[in-house]
Amino acid sequence: MNMMSFAVLSAMEAKGNLLLMEAAVFVLLLIRCVLAQQVPLDSAVQRSALLDLRSSLGLRSRDWPLRKEPCRSWRGVQCQNGQVIAINISGFKRTRIGRLNPRFAVDSLGNLTLLSSFNASGLSLPGSIPEWFGYRLPALQVLDLRSCSLSGSIPGSFGNLSRLNVLYLSGNSLAGNVPATLGELKKLSNLDLSRNLLTGQIPNAISLLGNLTRLNLASNFFTGQIPSGLYSLSSTQFLNLSDNALTGFIPSVVGNLDKLIELDLSKNSISGSLPLELRGLRNLEKLVISENGLEGQLSEGLFPTLDQLQVVDLSGNKLDGALPATLFLRPNLRFLDLSRNNFTGSWPILSTNGNASGAVFNISNNMLYGELNSSFGKFSLIDLSSNYFQGTVADDRGRNVSLGRNCLQSVASQRSSEDCRLFYAERGLSFDNFGVLEPMQPPVPQHEEKSSKRWIFILVGVFGGLGFIAILVIVLVLILRRCDKGIANQRGSADVGPVPEGDSTPPPKDPAIVSGVGDSFTYEQLLRATGNFSETNLIKKGHSGDLFKGTLAGGTTVVVKKVSLHSFKKESYMMELDLFSRVSHARLVPLLGQCLEHETEKLLVYKYMVCGDLASSLHRVTDLEDDSLQSLDWITRLKIAIGAAEGLSYLHHECNPPLVHRYRETCI
Ligand SMILES: *[C@@H]1O[C@H](CO)[C@@H](O)[C@H](O)[C@H]1NC(C)=O
Ligand SMILES: *[C@@H]1O[C@H](CO)[C@@H](O)[C@H](O)[C@H]1NC(C)=O
Ligand SMILES: *[C@@H]1O[C@H](CO)[C@@H](O)[C@H](O)[C@H]1NC(C)=O
Ligand SMILES: *[C@@H]1O[C@H](CO)[C@@H](O)[C@H](O)[C@H]1NC(C)=O
Ligand SMILES: *[C@@H]1O[C@H](CO)[C@@H](O)[C@H](O)[C@H]1NC(C)=O
Ligand SMILES: *[C@@H]1O[C@H](CO)[C@@H](O)[C@H](O)[C@H]1NC(C)=O
Ligand SMILES: *[C@@H]1O[C@H](CO)[C@@H](O)[C@H](O)[C@H]1NC(C)=O
Ligand SMILES: *[C@@H]1O[C@H](CO)[C@@H](O)[C@H](O)[C@H]1NC(C)=O
Ligand SMILES: *[C@@H]1O[C@H](CO)[C@@H](O)[C@H](O)[C@H]1NC(C)=O
Ligand SMILES: *[C@@H]1O[C@H](CO)[C@@H](O)[C@H](O)[C@H]1NC(C)=O
Ligand SMILES: *[C@@H]1O[C@H](CO)[C@@H](O)[C@H](O)[C@H]1NC(C)=O
């Protein structure tokens, strides 16, 4: 071809017909070009290598038809001068046999000595990359084995692929260390080893890859510090080391990466602060260092030079100090996530000429406070929830604002006033208390609600109180009728009634009553006292345990409550013990002690009340309705009523916290 075209050219030149000559050159070049592509595979070795590959990978006749010329008709095969230079079998389907037996069986590639590109991404080729790969493919420039189910390690021989420009091995199960020989790939511009099982340190040899523009080592198990050499890769535009276990801090030499466009160091354990030198990254568009241990403040000086910034994600760190207003004013900013940090101070005063329109700002879960009275800038969505902002928010701020869990007035789902007051008090700041004046009495320890709903609560409180008093009166009347009976029956026996006549002082303190939860009895003691919990001693089956009458060795009559953990929840007796450890009043049945040593049966020991418990006494009243209703004089009734009121008053007002009870064992 060359000889022929030269001859024609010379002839034409002689004629001096330039125009004709140009046309002829064009036609000839065209023909040459077409022919070059269609030159059949002229090497028998390469032909058999391709056939081998076809059968070892189980490729289909539809893609690589046997009877046709590989260079012309096989899909994804590219030749030059009769030699295979590129194979792209990415996304191919396989024959049934090939599907059943997928392997990384590419040995025959070794005979395609001019192969410059091999792309098998997405094709399942379980197995490891053979060591010869680096030695026998000296022309390889592009190797794409993404998501090929590869295992084993990256062969050190890769360092001999001296022409390699693109190396994609992501999404496999490659393990072990990254061989330092990769540092010899002087022409490498794209290295993606992400989403593998690689371990060890990132080899410092990577810093020898002077032409590297993209480095992705994300989602592996790399440990140790980021090698300082990495920051000398001045051509690098994309650096993704996220989701590893990298430690150490970001050194000031990071400023050398002045071509960097995307930096992702998220999900590591990087500590320290963001160095001011970061402002040297004038081309930076994406800065993602979320989920690390960064601390310290964000300097205002960090951002004014970073005009290309579009995405900044520093969420999930320990950054503190004030929000840098300069960050909000980056002209191209469209996503800013500073959530889950420790930023404090008030909302920055943003000049209204801020250009970040349509941006998404997430500043939630910080410790910001004060009023939201300055401009937000132009945003499409802003999340300020879980901070401590107070005051009111003007309506014209748009609807895409999340303000939950703050201390704001007239906004739903805010923090409790306790939380807010505490936060502001700790910092010596004044808190507007949701715009409500301080109530005269200390507030009930309950969650403060929106001020607009306060009236509802006050009304509910008043009517609820009235209702409660009504119920109380009814209960007292019933008690009076019952105790008529009880005391009438005991007349003349002894003055051991629960409310001794003419005496409103507490009964003499039993020595067994101690503060806290009383004495510890042994299980045997209580077995003896109650006659092995015999049926005859059973007073009643209570709703939280069975009650037995018993006599202690000293002669004291007691009531033993047996809480069987088979039938009752553990909390029931714990609650009761807790209650008695906190309250003690003459009008409450005294708890004398407890026995908790038995695994499944917990015993509580009470003072014995002669007139029994309220519930069963009430039943007795109905049994004997016709007689002795009149036997109790009005003075006694009044005393009982006062006693009951004292007990209730104590529970509701004096003990802390106040108790609303459903106590039925109390004999008033
Ligand atoms: C590789 O082959 C796939 C499928 O045939 C095709 O979509 C893709 O464009 C090819 N890629 C290259 C670089 O030739
Ligand atoms: C490999 O082929 C896929 C198409 O399936 C393509 O997206 C990818 O860019 C190719 N790899 C290279 C390095 O060209
Ligand atoms: C490569 O070609 C040689 C012949 O030149 C042959 O002996 C050898 O088996 C081939 N290797 C593979 C893996 O196809
Ligand atoms: C691979 O490269 C190393 C050093 O770069 C060299 O010593 C070795 O001879 C090479 N091996 C082959 C098979 O080319
Ligand atoms: C980058 O690649 C070119 C060849 O493409 C090479 O000459 C140069 O030395 C490489 N740069 C470095 C720093 O290795
Ligand atoms: C970095 O890699 C991770 C994991 O592959 C990916 O989720 C993340 O989007 C990448 N970061 C950037 C900035 O592209
Ligand atoms: C946030 O700051 C407070 C002090 O203001 C400190 O007690 C707390 O531990 C910090 N939290 C984190 C996650 O650093
Ligand atoms: C806002 O952005 C526009 C282009 O997007 C630019 O022309 C203008 O100068 C910017 N204004 C400010 C205040 O940055
Ligand atoms: C802001 O971040 C928090 C936690 O980081 C997340 O729960 C919330 O959904 C984010 N808000 C928006 C609007 O994306
Ligand atoms: C916002 O209110 C605070 C007082 O709460 C005041 O000090 C500050 O100057 C106000 N800011 C603006 C922009 O009005
Ligand atoms: C609210 O957000 C949505 C999408 O996030 C956006 O389409 C819409 O314009 C925003 N509304 C306003 C008032 O900014």
Ligand 9 within 6 A of CB of 383: yes
Q: Is pLDDT of 513 > 50?
A: no
Residue 197 pLDDT: 97
| Locus of tokens 């080592």 | 217
Lowest mean pLDDT segment, chosen from 189-193, 241-245, 352-356, 626-630: 626-630
306, 355, 357, 375, best to mutate for ligand 8 pocket (most atoms within 8 Å of CB): 355
Ligand 5 atom nearest 210 alpha carbon: 13
C-alpha of residue 371 to centroid of ligand 10, in Å: 7
Per-residue pLDDT at 485 exceeds 70: no
Query: Would you state the pLDDT for residue 243?
Result: 97
Can you give the pLDDT at residue 467? 66
CA atoms within 13 A on the CB side of 649: 7
Mean of pLDDT over the chain: 78
**Is ligand 9 within 6 A of the CB of residue 339?**
yes
pLDDT at 616 over 60: no
Mutational pocket test of ligand 10: of 346, 371, 392, 431, the residue with most ligand atoms within 8 Å of the beta carbon: 371
Q: Which residue has the tokens 């990577």?
A: 206
Do residues 357 and 376 touch, judged by C-beta distance below 8 A? no
CA distance linking residue 620 with residue 478, whole number of Å: 12
> Cis peptide leading into 657, omega within 30 of 0?
yes
- Written as six digits, the tokens of 124 are 């399942």
pLDDT digits (tens, 9 = 90+) for 574-586: 666 565 555 666 6
Q: Where are the beta strands (DSSP E) in 498-556?
A: 519-520, 538-541, 546-551
C-alpha 160 to ligand 1 mean position (Å): 26
pLDDT above 90 for 157: yes
pLDDT of residue 498: 40
What CATH superfamily classification does 519-616 receive?
A: Phosphorylase Kinase; domain 1 (3.30.200.20)
Q: How many CB atoms lie within 10 A of CB 606?
A: 20
Cα 634 versus chain centre, distance:
66
On the question of pLDDT at 333 being above 60, the answer is yes
For residue 497, the model assigns a pLDDT of 36
Mean pLDDT of 540-546: 74
Taking every pair of C-alpha atoms in the chain, what is the biggest distance, in angstroms?
153
pLDDT at residue 311, rounded to an integer = 96
What average pLDDT does this structure show over 641-662?
A: 62
**Cα–Cα distance for residue pair 263/245, rounded to 1 Å:** 16
Cα–Cα distance, 125 to 120 (Å, whole number):
9
pLDDT value, residue 587? 61
Q: Is the pLDDT of residue 627 over 50?
A: no
> For residue 24, what pLDDT band results from cuts at 50, 70 and 90?
low
Give the pLDDT of residue 100: 77
Distance from residue 232's CA to the centre of ligand 5 (Å)? 15
pLDDT in tens, 99-120: 777 777 888 899 999 999 999 9
Q: What is the pTM of this model?
A: 0.66
The proportion of the chain whose per-residue pLDDT surpasses 90, expressed as a percent, equals 40
Q: Measuring CA to CA, how many Å separate 531 from each of 66, 535, 588, 648?
A: 99, 9, 27, 35
Name the amino acid, one letter, at 650: Y
pLDDT score for 584? 62
* Mean pLDDT calculated for residue range 186-199: 96
Atom 5 of ligand 7: nearest residue by CA position = 342
Q: What is the pLDDT of residue 589?
A: 66
> Best of 121, 147, 165, 190 to mutate for ligand 2, by most ligand atoms within 8 A of CB?
121
- CB contact at 8 A, 9 and 25: yes
**Domain extents in the chain:** 519-616
pLDDT band at 196 (very low <50, low <70, confident <90, very high): very high
